[in-house]
Structure 1
Amino acid sequence: MQAQITTPMAEAVAPAAHGKAGPSRLRRYLKNTLKFLLGLIVLSFFANWLWILSGSNQWELKIDEGGTQVYTLKAPGATMLKIRAVMQTKEFTLSNHLAPLLDTSIQDDCARWVPGCLSYKILTPWNPKTQSNVTMWTLGMPGPFSPREILLQGQLTQDPASKVLTLENIAVPNRIAPNDCCVRLSHVHNVWRYTPVGDGNIKVEFVNDMDMGGAFPKFLLNLGAPGEIHKMLTVDNPKLLRQEKYRNARLDFIDEGLAK
């Protein structure tokens, strides 16, 4: 059997060789990690570019549950989906549906109406003659994103023949000076439409067209918004409208028409 001879020189060389291999593996790891991250960033930008260019510009049905249908529309060049929800109900009159417009107490607990709401301010009270108001919602966002301010002008119109009520909420971001605390939305055009269809039934339509602005990951909104809007129409809003103060409302500037 051949004996293994270990010399002091060999003992000195072995650790040195091992020491070189450690930093070399670390450099390769860091290099590969950097390549992966750069590739991921490039892929994300490419996917976002393709998403912006995509879109049929047609309404597509996404949810059909509980008598409520939710559609989405992707327009080429847009980052956000438009969402349209439709349902019918005979539980509420036109006045019942619109009564919250006159309810100043929403300022005390706005989160009941909009999840994540930090504050709701009535800047210009509802005017029955012009059938308009100006309000501002401030919504909290998950960190590290800044709160969002939604400064809206509400405008109500009613067709004298069909009695269809249309409430448009449009962003007016320059109505007051900006706040450093928040990102103020520049694009909002949300529409509520109430159509009497006979026998006390009212067709309720809601179109959500808004962009949260800033660096917020818009794919999260596109992913979750259809389900949230379905829940709003079928669960959240009816529950709020069943309060006695809305049930007993009768607004003189609204013609109930066929909804009687």
Structure 2
Amino acid sequence: MEHSGKSKTNGFLLMLTLLSVAAAVAAPFFWDRFMEGQTGMIALIAVEILLVIFIIASTHSLWKNSGSGQWKLKSDKKGMKVYTLKNPGETWLKIKIIGRLKGRLASILALMRNPDAADDVGMFDSYYIPGWDPDKDGVDPKLVYYTFKQKLFPPFKHREFVVKSEFSQDPITKEMKFNFVAAPEMLPEDKRYFRVTEMHNKWKYTPLDNGEVQYEFIYDAVDPGGNFPYALANWLIPAMLPFAFAKMPKILDKDKYRNARMDYVMEVDQPAEVVA
């Protein structure tokens, strides 16, 4: 009954929104039949503003209350599948990308977690949080904290990410998993950038029998904030991420990744007991 009532409310709101759009478009052509002169023009502008405000508010409400909570295939091109998920009560889409590539697991790990890789993936000013550099501080490299920044176009500030990166690997299948969780409290805030405070992105790399590695990436930034319109992000991010993923094989072919060595990752043909 609750779902039925909600559907009726959304249906009624949708009807009002469509009528408001029609009224906003038609009003300039018929308004002079009711009011003329300067007073009529001022009244028309006021009515148009009220209609636009209502249309924006109702459209936002309809979108926020929509969603099935299920992954839906958005595109399937060149061996890469892009899914989106919309939860009722949320405005931002979750995005999942599944594809395949060739590469050693250590190479992928180096690209994923080494701050020196920031430039290769379109980020900048990346470094380990003081006290969490595996080479200098002797911490367990399976759990590290680091930061990086991402350029955005005006009028939006560049984004600053401070993240906790958790790594795990199945000793049998050699499947690698990464969790990237926002950890904004780990660094003082820099007013020049907008810090993303809510994020939980997940990666999974599964070796296949044919020598390829299947990757699965789930993008879940609850709200990137900074007044970035969610409608723009929901359109832009699913369209742009596949281009970034398409570059991964070429990036992994660079010497610094192709020859990377990581003590805590097992290659497909490597027994677990030889790993430190």
Per-residue Cα deviation, 1:71-106 (whole angstroms, up to 9, x for no partner): 0010111111111111122x2011111112464434
Percent identity reads 29
Distance 1:141 1:42, change over 3 A: farther
Distance 1:31 1:102, change over 3 A: same
Alignment-mate amino acid for residue 212 of structure 2: N
- Tell me which residue corresponds to 1:164: 175
- Written as runs of structure 1 = structure 2, the 5 A alignment for 1:165-184 is 165-184=176-195
- Give secondary structure in 1 for the equivalent of 2:133: strand
- Written as runs of structure 1 = structure 2, the 5 A alignment for 1:1-260 is 25-89=37-101, 91-101=102-112, 103-106=114-117, 110=119, 112-114=120-122, 117=123, 119-123=125-129, 124-126=132-134, 129-210=140-221, 211-234=223-246, 236-257=247-268
Distance 1:27 1:221, change over 3 A: same
Query: In structure 2, what is the Cα distance between the partners aligned to 1:141 and 1:26?
Result: 43
- Give secondary structure in 2 for the equivalent of 1:229: helix
Report the alpha carbon displacement of residue 30 of structure 1 after superposing the two structures with TM. Answer: 3.2
Alignment-mate amino acid for residue 33 of structure 1: I
Query: In structure 1, what is the Cα distance between the partners aligned to 2:109 and 2:200?
Result: 18
- Tell me which residue corresponds to 1:13: none
List runs of 5+ in structure 2 lacking aligned partners: 1-35, 272-276
Work out the number of aligned pairs and report it. Answer: 230
Structure number, greater radius of gyration? 1
RMSD: 2.2
Report the alpha carbon displacement of residue 217 of structure 1 after superposing the two structures with TM. Answer: 0.5
Query: In structure 2, what is the Cα distance between the partners aligned to 1:86 and 1:206?
Result: 7
Distance 1:103 1:176, change over 3 A: closer
Report the alpha carbon displacement of residue 208 of structure 1 after superposing the two structures with TM. Answer: 0.5
Query: In structure 2, what is the Cα distance between the partners aligned to 1:225 and 1:60?
Result: 15
Query: In structure 1, what is the Cα distance between the partners aligned to 2:115 and 2:228?
Result: 31
Query: In structure 2, what is the Cα distance between the partners aligned to 1:241 and 1:207?
Result: 20
- Tell me which residue corresponds to 1:15: none
Query: In structure 2, what is the Cα distance between the partners aligned to 1:55 and 1:258?
Result: 43
Distance 1:142 1:125, change over 3 A: same
Query: In structure 1, what is the Cα distance between the partners aligned to 2:114 and 2:148?
Result: 15
Report the alpha carbon displacement of residue 231 of structure 1 after superposing the two structures with TM. Answer: 1.4
Distance 1:207 1:101, change over 3 A: closer
List runs of 5+ in structure 1 lacking aligned partners: 1-23
Q: Which has the higher contact order (CA 8 A, sep 6+)?
A: 1
- TM-score (norm: length of structure 1): 0.80
- The answer to which of 95-104 and 246-255 deviates more is 95-104
Report the alpha carbon displacement of residue 52 of structure 1 after superposing the two structures with TM. Answer: 1.0
Distance 1:61 1:105, change over 3 A: same
Per-residue Cα deviation, 1:218-250 (whole angstroms, up to 9, x for no partner): 11110121121211222x222211111111123
- Give secondary structure in 1 for the equivalent of 2:186: coil
